[in-house]
C-alpha cells in the first residue's frame, strides 16, 4: 500500500476515534484527534503517488462521509450548549428578581440622618 493510502487510512481511523469522543462528550480529546487527522491529511496530500486512484477515491469518499458525521455531531453539541446557556441565563434572571426580598434589612442604617 502506498504512503498516501496509509496516511488516508490512519486519518480515517483517527476520525472515527474523534467521532467516538465527540459522542462521549470529551471535547478536548476530540480536538486533539482533529488536529492529528488534519496533519495526516496534509501528509497524504504531500505524497506524490499516481498509483491506485480508485482506492484513493474510495478513502476520500469515506473521509467525506465521516466529516459529515463529525459536523452533525459538533452542531448538535453546539446547540445543546447554547440551550444550556440560555437556560442558565433565564434562571439567573429569575433568581435576580428575588434579590430585594432576600436581602436582609440591616438593624442599623448605613447612612446617618443629619437632622436628627
**Residue of 36 and 43 predicted with greater confidence:** 36
Mean pLDDT, the chain, rounded, equals 84
The pLDDT of residue 88 is 95
Residue 68: which pLDDT band, with cuts at 50, 70 and 90?
very high
**Residue of 18 and 1 predicted with greater confidence:** 18
Q: What is the mean pLDDT of residues 34-61?
A: 81
Q: Lowest mean pLDDT of 14-18, 22-26, 44-48, 90-94, name the range.
A: 44-48
The pLDDT of residue 104 is 65
What are the cell numbers at 51? 498509483
Amino acid at each position: 500500500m502506498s504512503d498516501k493510502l496509509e496516511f488516508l487510512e490512519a486519518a480515517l481511523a483517527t476520525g472515527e476515534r474523534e467521532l467516538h469522543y465527540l459522542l462521549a462528550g470529551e471535547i478536548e480529546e476530540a480536538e486533539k484527534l482533529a488536529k492529528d487527522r488534519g496533519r495526516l491529511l496534509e501528509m497524504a496530500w504531500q505524497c506524490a503517488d499516481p498509483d491506485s486512484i480508485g482506492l484513493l477515491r474510495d478513502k476520500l469518499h469515506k473521509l467525506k462521509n465521516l466529516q459529515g458525521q463529525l459536523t452533525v455531531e459538533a452542531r448538535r453539541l453546539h446547540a445543546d450548549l447554547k440551550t444550556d446557556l440560555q437556560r442558565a441565563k433565564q434562571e439567573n434572571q429569575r433568581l435576580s428578581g428575588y434579590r430585594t426580598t432576600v436581602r436582609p434589612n440591616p438593624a442599623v442604617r448605613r447612612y446617618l440622618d443629619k437632622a436628627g
